[in-house]
Amino acid sequence: MNILITGGTGLIGKPLVEKLRQKGHEVRVITRKKSDDPNEFYWNLEDGFINENAFKDLDSIIHLAGATISERWSDDYKKELFTSRIDTANLLKEYCIANNVHLKSFISASGINYYGTFTSDQILNENSGIVHPDFLATLCEDWEKAAYHFSDISDRIVCLRTSVVLAKDGGAFPLLKKTVDLNIGSGVGTGNQWMNWIHIDDLVDLYVFALENSELKGDFNAVADELPTNKMFMKKLAKISGKFFLPINVPAFMLKQIFGEMSSIILEGTRASNEKIKSQGFDFKYSELGKAFKDLV
């Protein structure tokens, strides 16, 4: 298939591009930097421009673009979180229509915070809806709405509600590992908030699964089987790393002072089910946290 990927040079996009090419797909990457690579196509959101050659004989789009949520949320940055996800999707659709493109699939990233950012023992599935309306819930809702706007020009839509991605070379894991290596690993806040997570290899495989399975459509939680609390997560990481675990948690007020409103994604967390995607035949290679840590450490 001819596949166009946004965010193709990011944490998820880079290994995804490599895997898709290994499987024989033609992969085109949209980039904000002009390049001589024939598989890279320039776009500029501010100017509303995309190189139209990216849309020639196009079969599918995988939309991964989006500014990281792991920055302090100023008013301006909140706007960037929306524009980098929603406005980019809208621009892609404009160019698809202008170039008479009908897609086999439009596959979009989304966030597990779709349900809201709060702590609860409730197990949430894709039919739970928004339980706790807040900033991230609104962001994820609008993100998915932008994906479903492709319904009139795409045979199917898939949204993957992604949890914390565990990877050696980026995301949250290297920072968590560093605190453990310094023997200052501990829980944060109450330590009782749940931590939804997924290994980078499983997430890449999940995107490939969504692309290659023509019957798959709708929203899916991208989370592993084992759901630890924050304290359990850090304690297990310290044990596998052969380091000390501090029994005293980092106070919530310290994180709030450092990160502001963004600290909510660290201090709160509920439980999400992956039964829907498993019922479609997807197998997680890293379903248990210990196995994931052994691979990453």
What is the per-residue pLDDT for 121?
93
Q: Buried b vs exposed e over 77-88: b needs ≥16 C-beta within 10 Å?
A: eeebbbebbbbb
In terms of Cα–Cα distance, which of 23, 107, 16, 18 is closest to 60? 107
Report which DSSP code applies to 215: T
pLDDT per residue as tens digits for the range 126-168: 999 999 999 999 999 999 999 999 999 999 999 999 999 999 9
User: Which residue ranges form the domains of the chain, and what is each CATH number?
Assistant: 2-231+255-296 (3.40.50.720)
Q: Within 13 Å and on the Cβ side, how many CA atoms surround 13? A: 22
Residue 70 has pLDDT above 90, yes or no: no
Across the range 228-255, mean pLDDT stands at 92
Say what the pTM is.
0.95
More confident residue, 203 or 71: 203
- Strand, helix or coil for residue 105: strand
* pLDDT band at 182; cut points 50, 70, 90: confident
Averaged pLDDT for residues 107-130: 96
Q: What is the mean pLDDT of residues 86-113?
A: 97
CB-hemisphere CA count at 13 Å for 76? 0
Count of other CB atoms within 10 angstroms of residue 71: 12
Mean pLDDT on 224-250: 94
Average pLDDT over residues 27-37: 91
Q: Is the pLDDT of residue 258 over 90?
A: no
What is the predicted pLDDT for the residue at 286? Answer: 97
The answer to whether 225 and 289 have CB atoms below 8 angstroms apart is no
Judge whether residue 281 has pLDDT over 90: yes
Average pLDDT of span 103-111: 98
Q: Is the dihedral of CA 186, 189, 191, 193 positive or negative?
A: negative
What pLDDT does residue 254 have? 87
Closest CA to 296 of 131, 172, 159, 146: 172
Cα torsion angle, 5, 212, 108, 278, sign: negative
Residue 42 has pLDDT above 90, yes or no: yes
Residue 184 backbone dihedrals phi, psi, to 5 degrees: -125, 25
List all residues 6 or more positions away from 163 whose beta carbon is below 8 Å from its beta carbon: 112, 196, 197, 198, 221, 222, 223, 224, 272
pLDDT at 2: 97
Is residue 100 very low, low, confident or very high in pLDDT (cuts 50, 70, 90)? very high
Tokens 């023509």, located at residue: 214
What is the predicted pLDDT for the residue at 235?
Answer: 94
pLDDT-derived band of residue 259, with 50, 70 and 90 as boundaries? confident
10 Å CB burial of residue 130 (0-12, 13-18, 19+) is middle
What is the per-residue pLDDT for 34? Answer: 87
Nearest C-alpha neighbor of 30 from the set 84, 77, 98:
84
pLDDT exceeds cutoff 90 at 33: no
Work out the mean pLDDT of the chain and round it to a whole number: 95
Rounded Cα distance, 40 and 64, in Å: 15
Q: What's the pLDDT score for residue 175?
A: 86
